[in-house]
Amino acid sequence: MTNHWDAIRRHWQLLGPPLCPPPEAVTTYERELGLQSLDVVLLGVTPELAGLGRTMLAVDESPTMISGIWPGDTATRKAVAGNWLDMPVAGASMDAVIGDGCLSALGLSVARRALFAEIARVLGPHGRAGLRLYASPETPDDPQAVRTLALSGGVATFHALKWLVAMTATGGAPDHAIPVQAILERFDELFPDRDELCARTGWDLPVIGTIDVYRNSPAIYSFAPVATLVHEAEAFFGDVRIVATGTYGLAERCPLLVLRSPRQR
C-alpha cells in the first residue's frame, strides 16, 4: 500500500483540515493525554504532531513518507519504517501512542482490532492512546443533500467534501469500508462539472484534483461510526472515551478516541 501513500505525499502541500490536524486538534491531543513528559509512539509521520512528547518514535511503513514529510530526526525524536500491527517496540515500554486518521487507513474491522491489540501491547499499565477519527454518522447522509450543501458553499474545505462523499458510500458492518477508487467514482457522479464546483465554492482546481490520486489505487479506507469504534476498542482497553477536537470543518466527525487502562493479554 506504500505506493498509495507515495502518491499522496506528492501533493501533501495541497491537503488541509480535516485530513491534517489543525492547531486546535493538536492541542486536544496534548490536553487530553498530557504528553509533555511522556515517551510517545506516533503512528505515521504526521508533521503537525511531531513536536509532542518528551521523546517520540514515529512508525510508518512508507520510506518515502518518512523522507518526504517527517520534519527530521532530532536528539529526542526519530522516525522508523515499520508496520503498526507489529511495531518495533518492546511490550509495556511506552507511555503513549497517538495517531491521526489511522483507523480509517485500515479497511477491515479485524485490522482495526489488531491495531488496538498492538497499542495495548506496547503501552505500560498507566499508558494512554489518542487516535483522531474519521467517523461516519449512524444514519448515512443523502448523497444529493451533500451535493446541494457543497454547491451552496456549506462545506468548509474540499477535503471535508471528500470525506462526506466517502461516508455516503461506505459498506456496512463490520468493516464500514470503501475502496478509494469508489470515493472518486461517487465524487465524479455527484460533481461531473469540476469547473462549476470550483466557481461555486472558490476551491482551486488543483486542490479538487487531489482526489484523482485515488484512480487505480488498491487502497481501502474505512469510516466506521463512533459507536462501532468504541465497541471494538473496549475489548482492549478498560477506559474508552470520545473527546471533541474543535470547531474546524467536519470536526464533529473527527473526535479523538482516548484509550486508557490497556488490558494485558
Ligand X SMILES: C[S@@+](CC[C@H](N)C(=O)[O-])C[C@H]1O[C@@H](n2cnc3c(N)ncnc32)[C@H](O)[C@@H]1O
Write out the residues near ligand X by the rule CB under 6 A. Answer: 2, 5, 19, 44-46, 60-62, 65, 83-85, 99-102, 105
Residue nearer to ligand X on the CB measure, 32 or 151: 32
Instruction: Report how far Cα 208 is from the mean position of its chain's Cα atoms.
Output: 19
> CA quadruple 245, 179, 70, 160: dihedral positive or negative?
negative
Closest among 134, 210, 206 to 170, alpha carbons compared: 134
Residue nearer to ligand X on the CB measure, 199 or 244: 244
Minimum CB–partner distance for residue 192 and ligand X (Å): 25
Minimum CB–partner distance for residue 66 and ligand X (Å): 8
Minimum CB–partner distance for residue 184 and ligand X (Å): 15
Residue nearer to ligand X on the CB measure, 78 or 200: 78
Residue with cell 518514535: 57
Residue nearer to ligand X on the CB measure, 101 or 255: 101
Total Cβ atoms within 10 A of residue 108 = 14
Cell of 245: 477536537
Minimum CB–partner distance for residue 88 and ligand X (Å): 11
Residue nearer to ligand X on the CB measure, 166 or 190: 166
Residue nearer to ligand X on the CB measure, 67 or 83: 83
The residue number whose beta carbon is nearest to ligand X equals 44
Compute the 3-state secondary structure of the chain and give helix, strand, coil in percent, each to the nearest 5.
Answer: 45, 20, 35
Long-range CB contacts for residues 165-168, cutoff 8 Å, separation at least 24: 165/190, 166/221, 166/223, 167/136, 167/137, 167/140, 167/141, 167/223, 167/253, 168/140, 168/141, 168/142, 168/143
- With beta carbons less than 8 A apart as the criterion, state whether 86 and 118 touch: yes
Minimum CB–partner distance for residue 195 and ligand X (Å): 26
